[in-house]
Amino acid sequence: MNQTAINTTDEPDIDGVVIHLHARPQLQGKNSIDANFPAVVVTSCDSLPLFGNALIKRVVIAPPSALAYLEALISNLPLGTLYCHTCQHPHLDLGDFAKNPHKKHFCGNCGVDSNWSKEPIVSSPLSELANKLTKNPDFVDSDRILDLRDYQNCQVKVWSSTPAVLWTSDLPQEAGIHVHIYQDKRKIVDDTFGQVTWFDGSQLERDRLLATMLDKTKKPAA
C-alpha cells in the first residue's frame, strides 16, 4: 500500500493506488527492483500453470484487485478462488462484494449469476495464485526499536506493514512499522521496527497507522 500513514516531508504521496514491487536476486541481498507500477503481469508456463484452468496463461495484478484482496487478508475474511461453472473463468469480487463473504457469485467474464461456493467466501484469483507461489507463509514481528527523538531535525515517512499480495521468498514476512528517515532530503533510515517512539515521546500504534493508510487510499485524488 503506497499511501503513507504519516508524511512530514515535502514530497506528496502518490495519487491513487499502485502496485509496489520488490525483487531480490539473492535471498538477503539488495533489491534489484524497488518501484511502483500501475499493474504487474504474472505469466504461466507449462510446468507451472497459474490456475486450475490451464488455458489461462497470465494474470494482471491491478490496484483494484490487489486492494480488495489485501483488505480481505487484513480483515481475516474467508478467501478462495471460485471458477465459473460455465466459462471456467476464476471469479473476482470487488467493492462491497470483497468485504462481505457470500455464496452466490456473478461471473464478470460471461455474466452467469448462478455460481455457488460451498461456504460464504470472498473470491479472488490472487488467493489461488498466492497459495501456489508462496514459499514461506509465516510472519515474524520485528524486534527493532526506533526512537525518533534521536532524529529531531529530520523528516519521516511512516507506514504500517501489510501482508504482501504475493510473497515468493523463503524468508518469513516481517510485521511492524516501516519508517523512512530523511536528512537534508537524503534517506538515512529505511527499515521495519517493532516499536517506534514519535518525536514527542508517544508510541506509534500499528493498527491506527493501518486504518489511516486505508482511509487515505479510498479517498479520491484531488
What spatial distance separates the first Cα and last Cα of the chain, rounded to whole Å? 18
- Residue 123, pLDDT score: 97
User: Taking the CB of residue 2, how many other CB atoms lie within 10 A of it?
Assistant: 17
Question: Which set of grid coordinates corresponds to residue 200?
Answer: 514527542
CB neighbour burial string for 25-59, b if at least 16 within 10 angstroms, e if fewer: eeeeeeeeeeeeeeebeeeeeeeeebbeeeeeeeb
Question: Which set of grid coordinates corresponds to residue 88?
Answer: 471456467
How far apart, in whole angstroms, are the C-alpha atoms of residue 135 and residue 53?
22
- Residue 222, pLDDT score: 46
- Residue 1, pLDDT score: 64
Q: Where do the structural domains in the chain lie, given as residue ranges?
A: 63-133, 136-217
- Residue 29, pLDDT score: 65
Contacts of 8 (CB under 8 A, 6+ apart): 155, 156, 157
3-state secondary structure of 61: strand
DSSP string, 170-200: SSPEEESEEEEEEETTEEEEEEEESEEE-TT
What is the pTM for the complete model shown?
0.86
pLDDT < 70 positions in the chain:
1, 27-29, 219-222
- Residue 220, pLDDT score: 54
